[in-house]
Chains A and B, each alone.
Chain A
Amino acid sequence: MTRSTLIARLTERFPHLMGRDTEIAVRLILEAVGDALAQGSRVEVRGFGSFALSHRPPRVGRNPKSGEQVTVPAKHVPHFKPGKELRERVDAQLTNGIAPLK
């Protein structure tokens, strides 16, 4: 599923809204999640999962080609932890053998 299929499906669910509105809604939701993370907040959606930042401290790495030492700067990377409902629903399909991976 891509962003455009998601927008199309939401537009079907909200027939009284215009497609343009669902498109903006999807953009606003994703931007709000991104902005929260950029500000250092967590995002927690019950039944879906939570987005948080994990901190990677600076480290001394090596250029694998030249063997030269380089400092890799500290960075914050987003991390997603699936919620209970999502974990269970995704796994149930495998256990029941209904939908093979596409």
Chain B
Amino acid sequence: MTESVTKAELADVLFERLGLNKREAKDMVDCFFEEVREALERGDDVKLSGFGMFNLRTKSPRPGRNPKTGEEIPITARRVVTFHASNKLKAQIDSAYAERDHANG
């Protein structure tokens, strides 16, 4: 299970399970992520119940260093996105792992 899941696989799910045509399925997946991006861009946190939360954090400027040259360079103030998985998602992942560990002895 090393293959990454991408938008193509997500669109396939909508095609197979919801019956959207291939075009609509692709557009829906694109719009889904675009809506989340736009909300974050507006400064809105995104809370998806049962999945997790995307939060915005504002970071103050701090001194940094180029790790290669050791040269000091300031890191400017910035806004970053953080994700916190919901307890439901964490539990789903944990129990899937527990089951596999059990199956593998």
Contacts and interface: CB of A to CB of B under 8 A. Distances in A.
Greatest chain A CB density within 10 A among B18, B32, B43, B54 is at B32
Contact of A37 (B77, B79, B89): B89
29 contacts: A6-B32, A10-B32, A10-B35, A14-B24, A22-B28, A25-B20, A25-B28, A29-B13, A30-B48, A30-B50, A30-B51, A32-B9, A40-B1, A46-B7, A47-B37, A48-B33, A48-B37, A75-B94, A75-B97, A78-B52, A78-B90, A86-B37, A86-B40, A90-B81, A93-B79, A94-B77, A95-B78, A99-B41, A102-B45
Interface residues of B, number: 56
Given A6-B36, A102-B45, A44 B14 contact: no
Interface of A: 1-3, 6, 9-10, 13-14, 17, 21-22, 24-26, 28-30, 32-34, 36-51, 53, 75-80, 82, 85-87, 89-95, 99-102
Given A32-B13, A90-B56, A37 B93 contact: yes
A24 B94 CA distance: 25
Interface of B: 1-7, 9-10, 13-14, 17-18, 20, 24, 27-29, 31-33, 35-37, 39-52, 54, 56, 58, 77-83, 85, 89-90, 92-94, 96-97
Contact of B5 (A32, A49, A91, A94): A32
Contacts, number: 170
A87 B57 CA distance: 12
A42 to B, nearest CB: 5
